[in-house]
Structures are given as structure tokens and as C-alpha cells.
Amino acid sequence: MERLYQPDFTCIFGDKYGNAFSYSKIDSLIWPIFSDIENSLPLKNLLKLKDDSGNFLFYTRKISIEDEKIELNCSDIHLGLIQAMDTGKSYGISNSDVVEVVKREPTIFKGILSFDLSEKSKEQNIINKIGKIQEQIPVCGVAIYPSLTKLDLNNPNNQQLVNMMKYCRKKALFIKLEMCNLSIPDNYSEFVTLEKIESFISSYSRNNIILSGLSYGQMESIVDRLKKNTNFWIEIDPRYIGGMTPTETFIKIFKIQGFIQNFWHRISIGSATPTLEISQMVRGFIEATDQLKFTQKNLLRTWTFRNINRLNATIFKPIYKLTSNTFLNIKESSDKFYKNQIISTHIIKLRSYSITQLLFLTDIIKNIFDKTIKKYPELNDGEILLRSYHTTTTLIINEHEIGNYLDLHYYFAELSTKDSSDYMHTVFAKENRPDFNHPDHRIASTYGSKQIVIPIRNRKLELGSRENFYILATFGPRTLDIFIQIKLFKEN
């Protein structure tokens, strides 16, 4: 359903990410623990850790890389991010563990490296180490574990941390900030208080920072506090679950006030394989989103597993070419001169690429207007007329704020899903075609207008500061034409 009613994401994320379905779905957290890969000594030590009852602290299933590929394929997930956990201790997950896994399947797996960045760390030349690993495997991010390494996130004198953040910003590597809600020894939660995290995220506002390993309570607090920090992302993984099923977990998270509205485009989901199967996370996600409203369900299903694609255009590339260009060409264009006016006419061809789509026209209209007005510097006033030729389209003027645009788009999309079987349309149609699209005709006749006239004063369109142009195209995907006529009046 979400693919059939996709919005024009070009006007939100730009041309490159106009069509979400060009991109892979991603499992954003996989530990490099596979039966057919030799573990590093720190990883072997990590897997030996037990609690007071003799249970292993780091539960793992015995799976091979081939098993993991099958799990990803079963879940319609195309990429997996393999994450290290360098704590500077005798136990952890080395970058070498990540390299060994990613090397096996670099088209499927990408690396998230890790370094001990604390003041007491003996790590040196971290930037050079990242660069050398990047020569071997595709690297998309760096994970840091403040509570395991006693890392003061807000120490301006920690040059290792400052330099690494600068390097990651330059190379479009995201930062995975781990809250580390694991029962691992020497875990100092005072280094990951919400105050420290908030200060860190604000200090590095040009770095994309994914917060992972939050408890539900921490998530509730931090969503409200950091919703306006656009560089702040949230990863959902099995550490949230506790005694709940994945479905219950997602339902609970989605009920957090403002979570979906503020973070639908800044969420990732990780399986923490081999802790849990990605298939179980996907199943829980689908079952939970089934209970949401039309807008929220479609948005989450479109982007949640694809969001990370937007963080690194070099590492995450389209899996296939799908057009997201709503503007195709100018079919006709001419200027006519009269005694008292100049009339410039244009017919532009557009494309919608889902069944119902609210297409953003402002940039297209203003580009044509600007080119016309520049040709006649002596003329100041007039009017512009926009007209749609199609009976299942309508022109709309409204505010182009991301949330408002999405609300409008999905409102119209949901209307167009109504059952048409009781209507008479197509019964007497001359063409022998099963349109059954009476709801589309009703929407086009009820909302917006077939044509719009806007005054031109002092060489500017007389528009309110928040007014923008759209065309609502239903019964698609389709190509459609818009007639544009610009009149410029000559002074007597």
C-alpha cells in the first residue's frame, strides 16, 4: 500500500531521495558473531562473560553468514550494518571482526567501526586507522560507548574525540552513540545522562548522531527534549524489548507522544543479530503499524528501514533507477505581442509516480515566471493563469511545511482508496475500460480548482508568504499537462 500512495518526497528530501523505493532496506545493527568467522580475542572474551546466575551476558544464536543472508532475504532487507564495540578492555568486538564479515559480502554488509576515545585511551592515529579500514571495506559510521569507556562526551580538550567528529562530518560517517543497556561489567551510566547527551548532540549539530540502546523510559524523555535537533536519530533494537514481543514493543514506542510526527524520518531498526532474527523485528513492525492511522502507517513503512540511506550517498546508493522527477519538459512555449500586453504561454508536462500524489509545483512555476519576467524588464504588472486539463486533477494553493504537505497528501490518498463499486461511472463510458474511479473525479471536483489566477505586481507574484502551488493527481501513475499563461500589461 505504501508504495502505491507514495508522496513526492522530492520536495522534502531533494531530487536524490524523491522516490524511497529506489533504495535498500537496512538492518542497522548486526554484531559480527558468526559460526564460520574466527572471532578476535576480545570477542571471545565477551562471549564468555556470565552473570551471577551463570547465564551468558551476550546471548548468541549459532548462525553462519549464509544463515544471516537467508534471514535478511526472508525479511526483504537488503543491507546489514556490522558494528564493532571497542571498549579498550580485554573484552569487546574489534574492528577486525567487522572487517572479516564485511569482506565476505561487501555488497550486503557495511561497517560501523568503534574506538576507545576516553582520555585514558592508548588509541593513537584514529583518523588514519579509519582511513586504512575504509580502503578495505565500505564504512558508514563510528560507534562510541561512553558508559563502557568512561568517555566525557563534552570535554573540549579531548582532541581525539574532536578530530574524529570533524573527520566523520567531512566523510559523511554517522556517529552511533550507544547507551549500552547491557549487563556488562564496568558500565558507568553517569556518562550517558540525558543532560550529557543533549549537550553533545547540540555541540556537534553538523554530525548525524544515532542514539542506540535506549530504555523505553529514556526514549520517552529524550524524544521530547531533542525533537527539534534535526541531527539526532533513534535506533530501535531488541534491547528495548525486555519481556515484550517485538509487536508490543513497537506499539508502545509508537504511542509515545510526538514520536512518529517528529522522528518518522530519523528512525532506524536493528536486529542485534545474532541476538534476534531480523524477521522477528520486521514482523513486529508490520503488525504494529497495521494499527496506525493511514498517514503514519504509510510513512513508517516507506522510510523506517530506508532512512539511513540518506546519511551517506557514497555508501548507500540506489538499488535501481526509478524516476522521481515530477517535471518532464515544456511541451510548448510562445510569446505573443499586442498593443497593450504581452502574453507568454507554456504547456508543461509532469509525471506522477503513485496512484494519488500531491505534486509540488512552486519551483517549476516560479522558474518559468522568472525567465519570462527577465525578458521584459520594462513591464511590471499583469497576471499568471494556471490551468489543468484533466478531470481527475485539481490545482491547490497551501502552505508548504513538511508536516502539512504530508497530511494533505495522505488525506487525499486515503479518500481515493474508497470503494467505487456502487457508483455508475464507466457503465455508459464509450471506451471499454474499467476505470471505476468515481472517487477521483469527486475529489478533483471538491478540492482546489481547475484553474488559478494570481496577480503580478511590481514584477512579483502576489502570493502570501506561506502560499505554494500544488497539483493533486489521482488515478495514476500518469503524465499530465498544465497550461501556464503569463500576461504582462504595457503602460499607456
Task: Report DSSP letters for 327-363, one per residue.
Answer: EEEEEEEEEEE-SSEEEEEEEEEEEE-SSSEEEE-HH
Residue 92: pLDDT over 90: yes
Residue pLDDT, tens place only, 469-491: 999 999 889 999 999 999 999 87
301 and 334, same domain (yes or no): no
pLDDT for the residue numbered 181:
62
pLDDT for the residue numbered 242:
73
114 domain-assigned: yes
19 domain-assigned: no
Q: Give 303's contacts (C-beta < 8 A, 6+ positions apart).
A: 20, 264, 265, 267
pLDDT for the residue numbered 3:
93
pLDDT for the residue numbered 436:
76
pLDDT for the residue numbered 434:
65
Quote the CA–CA distance of 177 and 479 in Å, as a whole number.
45
163 and 292, same domain (yes or no): yes
pLDDT for the residue numbered 418:
87
Domain count for the chain: 2
Q: What is the pTM of this model?
A: 0.93
Dihedral sign for Cα atoms in the order 150, 153, 158, 164: positive
pLDDT for the residue numbered 492:
66
Quote the CA–CA distance of 436 and 424 in Å, as a whole number.
8
394 and 425, same domain (yes or no): yes
Q: Encode 464-488: b = buried (16+ Cβ within 10 Å), e = exposed.
A: eeeebbbbbbbbbebebbbbbbbbb
343 and 483, same domain (yes or no): yes
pLDDT for the residue numbered 217:
82
18 domain-assigned: no
Q: What is the CATH number of the domain that holds 380?
A: 2.60.120.460
295 and 444, same domain (yes or no): no
pLDDT for the residue numbered 58:
80
Measured CA distances, 107 to 11, 97, 139 (Å): 30, 17, 12
Average pLDDT of the chain is 92
Residue pLDDT, tens place only, 16-49: 999 999 999 999 999 999 999 999 999 999 999 9
pLDDT for the residue numbered 5:
95
456: number of Cβ within 10 Å: 21
Residue pLDDT, tens place only, 185-226: 888 889 999 999 999 999 999 999 999 988 888 888 888 888
8 domain-assigned: no
Residue pLDDT, tens place only, 352-404: 999 999 999 999 999 999 999 999 999 999 999 999 999 999 999 999 999 99
Closest CA to 85 of 21, 29, 12: 29
Residue pLDDT, tens place only, 106-135: 999 999 999 999 888 777 889 999 999 999
pLDDT for the residue numbered 315:
96
> What interhelical angle do 159-170 and 126-134 show, nearest 10?
30
Residue 323: pLDDT over 70: no
Tell which of 277, 311, 345 closes a domain. 311
322 domain-assigned: no
Quote the CA–CA distance of 167 and 153 in Å, as a whole number.
16
Q: What is the CATH number of the domain that holds 133?
A: 3.20.20.140
Res. 182 pLDDT band, cuts 50 70 90: low
Residue 424: pLDDT over 80: no
306 and 331, same domain (yes or no): no
Q: Do the Cβ atoms of 137 and 103 come closer than 8 Å?
A: yes
Residue that is written with C-alpha cell 518518522 in the block:
264
Residue 146 belongs to what domain range?
A: 24-311
Residue 103: pLDDT over 80: yes
pLDDT for the residue numbered 438:
84
